[in-house]
Amino acid sequence: MERAQAARRAGAVPGRRRQRGPAQLLDTGRGHVAWDRLGGIARRDGADARHIAALLDLPWLETRAIAARGFTAVVDAVEGAGGELVPALLAALGVRCVPLHCGLSGLFPHPAEPTPANLADLSAAVRREGADLGFAVDPDVDRLVLADASGRVLNEELTLAVAADFLLGREPGPVAINLSTTSLVEVVAARHGVGVTRTPVGEANVVDAMLREGAVVGGEGNGGVIYPALHPGRDALVGIAMVLQHLADTGLSLAELVGSYPPVAMIKDKFDQDKPFAADDIKAGLELALGAGAIDDRDGLRWSGPAGWVHMRPSNTEPIVRVIAEAAGEEQARDLVSRARALCERI
C-alpha cells in the first residue's frame, strides 16, 4: 500500500510531513557543505518530447478533431520554460501558433504573474492576428490563463472551471480544489453529478486530497490544473489540451463556452499584518459582520453564505493577510471583502 501511494505521489510537491526532514536539517545546520561541494548536475535530455508524447497519448485527446477546428492561438510564454513546449504541443495538435515572448532568455518582458494587467501584449496580439484564443503561461509552465477572440484576458479562475467541465464529461469522478478557488468549479461538478472536496491552500494539500479521494481532476484557482492520471502536479500543457478538446467537442468559441457559466465576480485584497491573526475572535464575530453562514477554519477562516463566500488567511510567506471574496456581482464581492477586512483589522 505504501509503495503504491508513493508511486502515485511521484513528482508531486512534498506535503508537510515530507518537508519536515529537510526543514530540520536546515534549522540544525547538520549536513551543510561548502558551496563547491554540493554535488553534480544530472541531465535528462528529451524530457520535453516525452511529456508531449504522453499528452498526445491521453485517451480523450483527439488530435484530428482539434485540427479540424483550424484554431489560431497566440502564446505568451514570458521568455520562460514554455517558450518551446507550448508551441510544440500546439503544432502536434494542428493549431496555428503565433509565438509571443517565446524565447528562453529568462528575461521577463513584463511581470511574470499572468494577470490581465500584465498581458496587454497578448490581448493586442490576439486581436491583431485574428486569433481564436490566447494562452499565457508563467515561467515554469504550471499556470495557464486564457484570452478569448476579442483579446479579453479571462480571470485565471476560469481556467480550472473550463478544464474540469471538459474532463468530467469524459471521466466523471471527484474533484479537489483549495478553499480560495472559484465556486464555478462546484457549479460544473454539480452539472456532471460529482462532488468537490476543498482543501487548505497549497498544491501539496490539493494533491493529498486528490489521491485520498480518488479525484480525477483538481487544482488551484490561479490557473493550475492537475490531472493525476498523467502526473500529480499543476501543468499548463494538460490544461491547454483540455481547453482545446472542449472547444472541439462543443463547437463553441471560448467566449461562448465561458458565457454558459453563471456570472460571478472575485475580488482579491490584502493588507499588512501588524498583529497576530486572531482566528478565534474573528470567527466569533463573523455572523454579526457577514450574516449566518458556514465557517471553515482549516486555513485562516472561510465564510460562505447566500451572498457568496469570503476567505481570510494570513500568508505563509509574507507578513500580510489575504482576503478573497466571490459573489454574483463585483459590488457584492467588494462588500464582502470590505466587511471581512474591517473585522480582521478591528480585532
Which residues does 74 contact at the CB level (< 8 Å), separation at least 6?
97, 98, 100, 122, 125, 126, 129, 131, 133, 134, 135, 147
Helical (H) or strand (E) element with 206: helix 203-213
Average pLDDT across the chain, whole number: 94
Residues 89, 151, 121, CA angle at the centre, nearest 5°? 75
**Looking at the domain covering 48-147, what would its CATH class be?**
alpha beta
CB atoms under 10 Å from CB of 103, counted, come to 14
pLDDT digits (tens, 9 = 90+) for 285-326: 999 999 999 999 999 999 999 999 999 999 988 999 999 999
Please report the pLDDT score of residue 6 as a whole number: 46
Check whether 204 has a pLDDT greater than 50: yes
Please report the pLDDT score of residue 245 as a whole number: 99
Question: Is the domain 157-258 a CATH 3.40.50.720 member?
Answer: no
CB atoms under 10 Å from CB of 144, counted, come to 31
Which residues does 250 contact at the CB level (< 8 Å), separation at least 6?
257
pLDDT digits (tens, 9 = 90+) for 165-196: 999 999 999 999 999 999 999 999 999 999 99
Burial class (CB in 10 A: 0-12, 13-18, 19+), 332: middle
The grid coordinates of residue 346 equal 478591528
Name the pLDDT band for 11 (thresholds 50, 70, 90). low
Q: Which CATH number fits domain 265-346: 3.30.70.20, 3.30.310.50, 1.10.10.10, 1.10.3720.10?
A: 3.30.310.50
pLDDT digits (tens, 9 = 90+) for 248-264: 999 999 999 999 999 99
For range 135-158, the mean pLDDT: 98
CATH topology agreement for domains 157-258 and 265-346: no
- Cβ atoms of 290 and 311 closer than 8 Å: no
From the list 224, 236, 243, the residue with the least C-alpha distance to 177 is 224
Helical (H) or strand (E) element with 68: helix 63-68
Check whether 47 has a pLDDT greater than 70: yes
User: In the chain, where are the structural domains located?
Assistant: 48-147, 157-258, 265-346
Q: Residue 31: helix, strand or coil by DSSP?
A: coil
From the list 122, 228, 206, 219, the residue with the least C-alpha distance to 163 is 219
CA distances (Å), origin 310, targets 193, 266, 273, 345: 25, 9, 18, 15
DSSP state string for 221-268 = TTTEEEETTTEEEE-HHHHHHHHHHHHHHH---HHHHHTTSPP-EEEE
Helical (H) or strand (E) element with 98: strand 96-100
Please report the pLDDT score of residue 31 as a whole number: 74
pTM above 0.75, yes or no: yes
